[in-house]
Amino acid sequence: MSILDGSSILITGGTGSFGRRFVRTVLGSTDARKIIVYSRDELKQYEMREQFGGDQRLRFFLGDVRDGPRLQRAFDGVDVVVHAAALKQVPAAEYNPFEAVKTNVFGAQNVIDSAIDRGVRRVVALSTDKASSPINLYGATKLVSDKLFVQGNSYAGGKPTRFAVVRYGNVVGSRGSVVPFFLARAQSGVLPITDARMTRFWITLEQGVAFVLSSLERMRGGELFVPKIPSMRVTDLAAAVAPEARLDYIGIRPGEKLHEEMISLDDARRTIDIGDRYVIQPEFDWWGNAHLEGEPVPEGFAYTSDRNDTWLDVSALRAMLDHA
């Protein structure tokens, strides 16, 4: 049985790529009592309602995570929250920093406060590899969000609410990712590449949803879960998408890293290996005896896309794209 069986689940940002796949998976594999899609865009909600054929377990709430009172209303009677709402486009966040802070930081606090006040049992917040040692505003806001959700467990006091975070890399086929961009440019015969050395972590939507669901099952409150996923070279991705295209090297853009990181050297001191994932443990007294069993990572460990043990080649990338 799943902890979601019989539960009322709310997902913020639920009309996005992750939200749609999450809802489809939960509807098909659990006996959830109700799934609430909370988002700002009425057109996307209409399209999603049509896509799922009016399933009676689905509810659609218009609202923004910036709006605390609306979240309080939406969270009434909710058992589980998955927080996927964010402003995540790096250039847009650089150009509109106040807006990114309002959604990614103040929105996170609103989710935490509303979850505690309404007695939500479990909350998982989605993070990003860009939150580890951030160099752009989007990554910085998500790092703050991660810390808010981890420490939200102490704000809960004697309330039953528990918070955890999941952090993973680029998602195959999600809106705004490089794959749709490359596919759109493939017909031109030229693909722009920032740097031939660039590497990224890679995960499918299906894998991301499965990781979030399993983290919901395993969480005790305070964990930051990081999956063991493969890396890819951006040149291999280009070869997988458009093997005949010429590569045009344009240089790294502002706020962009050559290699991504999910666990820094400093965070590694609090990180354990529990098999299929790593767990960054909090540094607070309230963590107590809640530790998951696992092996500490070796001294000097850092989980970066260029020092990964697992790599995708062109054929493996094509297989992932076929199932995206």
Residues identified as active-site: 130
Helix 234-241 × helix 178-186 angle, to 10°: 40
- Using CA atoms, how far residue 244 sits from 38, 238, 240, in Å, is 42, 9, 10
Under 8 Å between Cβ of 33 and 7? yes
CA torsion through residues 7, 13, 19, 20, sign: positive
* CA 283/CA 264 separation, integer angstroms: 15
Q: Pairing relation of β-strands 271-273 and 224-227?
A: unpaired
* CA 280/CA 314 separation, integer angstroms: 31
CB-neighbour burial class of residue 96 (10 A; exposed 0-12, middle 13-18, buried 19+) = middle
Q: Pairing relation of β-strands 261-263 and 303-304?
A: antiparallel
H-run or E-run covering 92: helix 90-95
Q: What angle do CA 138, 139, 144 make, to 5 degrees?
A: 100
CA torsion through residues 284, 67, 161, 276, sign: negative
* CA 191/CA 194 separation, integer angstroms: 10
Two tokens at 152?
């939200």
* CA 23/CA 30 separation, integer angstroms: 10
* CA 262/CA 292 separation, integer angstroms: 19
Under 8 Å between Cβ of 166 and 280? no
Strands annotated E in 52-113: 58-62, 80-83
